[in-house]
Amino acid sequence: MATRNSGGGGRGGARRGKGGGRGFGEPEEEKRDDHVKLEGTISQVFAGGQFEVTTDAGAQVRAQLCGRMRKFRIRVILGDRVTVALSPYDLTHGMIVFRAK
């Protein structure tokens, strides 16, 4: 019985065009250009991965970690400096996209 070389049609073959249009080389901040980005400090930690961030402007924002930070298990604790991406539609909810060192 002869073996077949599957040229990408079956299992184990080379995948072509499976990126889904996502730019993995681009940083998270550059992908979402419609979000408003603010610097702030974690002021309170809630259950379920929610945080309250006090921005440098003095506003209180409820935020959660972005997917990439959850994937790589980036820890955020009380008092950390973070960058929050806010939706232009609701400026009270945001997404933590960067933790400063």
CATH of the domain at 83: 2.40.50.140
Q: Could you report the per-residue pLDDT of 59-89, keeping only the tens digit for each?
A: 999 999 999 999 999 999 999 999 999 999 9
95 within 8 A of 62, measured Cβ to Cβ: no
Residue 43 maps to a domain? yes
Residue 80 maps to a domain? yes
Residue 75 maps to a domain? yes
Residue 49 maps to a domain? yes
Residue 37 has φ and ψ, to the nearest 5°, of: -105, 130
Residue 37 maps to a domain? yes
At residue 13, the 3 state secondary structure works out as coil
Residue 88 maps to a domain? yes
The number of domains in the chain is: 1
> DSSP states of 29-86 as a string?
HHH-TTSEEEEEEEEEE-TTSEEEEEETTS-EEEEEE-HHHHHTT----TT-EEEEEE
Q: Is 61 exposed, middle or buried (0-12, 13-18, 19+ CB in 10 A)?
A: buried
pLDDT of residue 33: 82
Q: Could you report the per-residue pLDDT of 14-37, keeping only the tens digit for each?
A: 555 555 555 444 455 456 689 999
pLDDT of residue 12: 60
Whether 11 has a pLDDT exceeding 50, the answer reads: yes
> Which residues partner with 50 through β-bridges?
64
At residue 14, the 3 state secondary structure works out as coil
Residue 33 maps to a domain? yes
Residue 1 maps to a domain? no
Whether 44 has a pLDDT exceeding 60, the answer reads: yes
pLDDT of residue 31: 65
Q: What is the domain extent for residue 62?
A: 28-99
